[in-house]
């Protein structure tokens, strides 16, 4: 189910395979969508439905979402450290 929820986010919210989960400087979880030309738009995980929010938090807390060493910046003030699923 865990990866199914991540895939649901991709197809339901962004129509893109460039959707990521990331952490901001205060360690808050965000979902970021690729908007083209190297840019991302992010939303705090709290803005998503319970199933998505709870699953993403659980995956992170269980160590299944780990930093991949990439930092993303957006047009706004939020820079995110990209997380990847350990099976990816």
d(CA 60, CA 23): 10
Split into its structural domains, the chain has a count of: 1
Section 63-69 average pLDDT: 88
Instruction: Give the Cα separation of 45 and 87 in Å (integer).
Output: 21
pLDDT digits 0-9 by tens, 11-29: 554 444 567 889 988 999 9
Over pLDDT 90: what percentage of the chain? 18
C-alpha–C-alpha distance, residues 61 and 72, integer Å: 21
SS percent in the chain: helix, strand, coil, step 5? 30, 40, 30
Structural domain of 43: 2-85
pTM greater than 0.75: no
Q: What are the start-end ranges of the H helices in 1-88? A: 2-9, 50-61
pLDDT value, residue 6: 63
The pLDDT value given to residue 1: 46
Per the prediction, the chain carries an average pLDDT of 78
């Amino acid at each position: 189910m865990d990866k199914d929820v991540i895939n649901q986010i991709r197809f339901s919210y962004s129509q893109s395979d460039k959707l990521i989960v990331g952490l901001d400087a205060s360690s808050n979880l965000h979902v970021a969508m690729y908007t083209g030309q190297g840019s991302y738009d992010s939303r705090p995980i709290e803005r998503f439905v319970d199933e998505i929010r709870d699953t993403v938090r659980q995956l992170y807390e269980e160590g299944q979402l780990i930093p991949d060493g990439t930092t993303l910046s957006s047009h706004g003030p939020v820079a995110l450290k990209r997380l990847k699923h350990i099976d990816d």
